[in-house]
Amino acid sequence: MSSNNPIPIVGIHSVRAALKHGGEDVLEVWLEDRRRDRCLAEIVELAHQVGVAVRQVARDGLDGGAEGVHHQGVLAWVRIPTARGETELGAILDGIQGPPLLLILDGVQDPHNLGACLRTADAAAVQALIAPKDKAVGLTPVACKVASGAAQTVPYVQVTNLARTMVGLKERGIWLIGMAGEARADLFETDLRGPLALALGGEGRGLRRLTRERCDLLVRLPMPGTVESLNVSVAAGVCLYEALRQRRHSNLE
């Protein structure tokens, strides 16, 4: 296995997704040597299809590699993926069929939050996660581990000028909705079915001024309880799944 600082991703679903969508970044797959079942056999077949070596490993070895995370008998060692650039964002948008669903993170600096947002973005079929290069966390080992394979499947695009990139999205007909606690509009009363980019701010500060100004609409999450705000990864999950719910309901009509 290469010594290029690989990180482990664990679990049947995460390893399967990494082999299907980011096989070039997978260096080696470890399987528990005493397990024999259809799910692991499928992973072996996928690994062979993309030319990835498979090693039978004792459970203690898997436990150590997974660092205490429940691994379901399978672990993959992967390269840390490289962030995409602004030119690649254009190609990503050109290839989207149907209304885009994008996530913008403005100044998220905690790698755990970025990893959790990537994982939720993958689950909600987000086509790209966009963030500024400055004052924001990149694809660190911690972020990639928390993402559980989603760093390989969701394009993470870092841009030099987020406000300018947002203008470019608007020129493509993508509606920009920003989350702000003081906004009058309610997320659950907002139409999220069309071409959409949801923008959320970083820990503590929220959206920066220029980012707010580039949004077509600011909305809030209803907070009838005693807490005043949610963690950015939790808020992203609520927003993305409300968009997903509306889109699925619209398709059923």
Model confidence, pTM: 0.85
The burial class, CB within 10 Å (0-12 / 13-18 / 19+), for 242 is: middle
Give residue 223's pLDDT. 86
Give residue 2's pLDDT. 47
Give residue 4's pLDDT. 59
* Residue where the block lists tokens 């707010």: 212
Q: Could you tell me the domains of the chain?
A: 7-78 (3.30.1330.30), 86-252 (3.40.1280.10)
Give residue 252's pLDDT. 59
CB-based burial, 138-170: b 16+ in 10 Å, e otherwise: ebbeebbbbbbbbbbbbbbbbbeebbebbeebb
Give residue 25's pLDDT. 84
* pLDDT per residue rounded down to tens, the chain (253 residues): 544 578 888 888 888 888 887 678 899 999 998 888 888 889 999 999 999 999 999 999 998 988 877 888 999 998 888 899 999 999 999 999 999 999 999 999 999 999 999 999 999 999 999 999 998 999 998 898 888 888 988 999 999 999 999 999 999 999 999 999 889 999 999 999 999 999 999 877 889 999 999 999 999 998 888 887 789 999 999 999 999 999 988 775 5
Residue 11 near residue 72, CB atoms below 8 Å: yes
CB-based burial, 97-126: b 16+ in 10 Å, e otherwise: eebbbbbbbbbbebbbbbbbbbbbbbebeb
